[in-house]
């Protein structure tokens, strides 16, 4: 059903579910804003803290059946989502539905999200599938990749510094005048400096 996302409550008509399964409560918006901006406004950016401010889509929900509360939650508890060709969907909750039961969903939008009105937002309830489970898991995977990437950069940086230090010692100007005599009978190579006053090879510090 269409929603304005302005502060206040919306109530769905009474509905039933077809199978005994989990169902997703989501807000669907059309891609009429820049992709990154839309994701940040809806709170489904893949990179944590990448947006610089809180999402404007914030809501609490309550699910009623036969005058009893059978489920409740908020958008802060679920920040999964999905991307299709023309729309973006932000998950704000989920519940276990049973065929034959009659439900009414009440959603209280606690922050003004009317800036998203240009995206024709809609409140949807639909069967959960692996797509949404994978999307929620993607946050953990993205964080893991980020940590692994930082570790790899540090490792490569350390290796580069190590090999630069090694190559720097061999190519130091104090060694440019040295020549290697051919080996005769033993495995020892003799190094003779053609420069006077050579003070030796320093192992530590700047050469």
User: For the chain, which residues make up each domain, given as ranges?
Assistant: 8-128, 132-175
Q: Calculate the dihedral angle through the C-alpha atoms of 174, 175, 178, 179, rounding to the nearest 10 degrees.
A: -170
Average pLDDT over residues 8-17: 96
Q: CA end-to-end span of the chain, whole Å?
A: 74
Half-sphere exposure of 204 (CA within 13 A, CB side): 0
DSSP 34-78: -HHHHHHHHT--SSTT-SSS--S--EEEEEEETTEEEEEEEGGG-
Q: What mean pLDDT, rounded, does the chain reach?
A: 77
Q: Please report the pLDDT score of residue 97 as a whole number.
A: 95
Q: What is the mean pLDDT of the segment spanning 66-86? A: 89
Show Cβ contacts of residue 127 under 8 Å, excluding neighbours closer than 6 positions: 17, 18, 19, 21, 22, 23, 24
More confident residue, 3 or 148: 3
Contact in structure between 116 and 89 (CB atoms under 8 Å): no
pLDDT at 137: 47
pLDDT of residue 100 exceeding 60, the answer is: yes
Q: According to the model, what pLDDT value does residue 179 have?
A: 53
Question: What is residue 114's DSSP assignment?
Answer: G
Residue the block writes with tokens 């190590």: 162
Q: How confident is the model at residue 193 (pLDDT cuts 50, 70, 90)?
A: very low
3-state secondary structure of 6: coil
d(CA 74, CA 154): 39
Bridge partners, 143 (sequence order): none
Question: What gap in Å lies between CA 167 and CA 165, rounded to an integer?
Answer: 6
The encoded tokens of residue 95 equal 């519940």
Give me the residues paired with residue 2 across strands.
122
C-alpha to C-alpha distance for 90 and 29, rounded to whole angstroms:
8
- Report which secondary-structure segment, H or E, holds 107: strand 104-109
Phi, psi for 36 (deg, rounded to 5): -65, -40
> How far is 28 from 83, CA to CA, in rounded Å?
10
> Given 3.30.43.10, 3.10.20.740, 2.60.120.790, 1.25.40.390, which CATH number is that of 8-128?
2.60.120.790
pLDDT score recorded for residue 56: 93
Query: In the prediction, which pLDDT does 199 show?
Result: 40
- pLDDT value, residue 77: 87
How far is it, in rounded angstroms, from Cα 92 to Cα 113?
14
* Per-residue model confidence (pLDDT) at position 48: 56
Range scoring the smallest mean pLDDT among 15-19, 53-57, 99-103, 151-155:
151-155
């Amino acid at each position: 059903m269409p929603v304005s996302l302005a502060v206040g409550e919306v109530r769905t008509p009474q509905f039933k579910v077809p199978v005994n399964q989990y169902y997703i409560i989501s807000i669907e918006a059309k891609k009429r804003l820049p992709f990154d901006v839309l994701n940040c406004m809806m709170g489904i950016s893949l990179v944590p803290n990448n947006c610089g401010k809180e999402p404007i889509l914030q809501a609490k929900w309550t699910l009623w059946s036969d005058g009893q509360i059978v489920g409740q939650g908020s958008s802060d508890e679920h920040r999964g989502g999905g991307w299709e060709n023309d729309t973006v969907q932000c998950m704000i909750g989920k519940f276990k539905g049973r065929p034959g039961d009659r439900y009414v969903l009440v959603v209280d939008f606690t922050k003004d999200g009317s800036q998203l009105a240009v995206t024709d937002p809609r409140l949807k309830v639909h069967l959960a599938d692996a797509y949404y489970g994978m999307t929620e898991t993607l946050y953990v995977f993205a964080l893991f990749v980020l940590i692994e990437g930082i570790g790899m950069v540090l490792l490569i940086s350390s290796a580069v510094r190590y090999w630069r230090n090694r190559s720097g010692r061999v190519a130091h100007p104090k060694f440019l005048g040295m020549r290697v005599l051919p080996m005769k009978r033993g495995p020892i190579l003799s190094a003779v400096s053609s420069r006077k006053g050579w003070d030796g090879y320093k192992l530590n510090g700047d050469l």
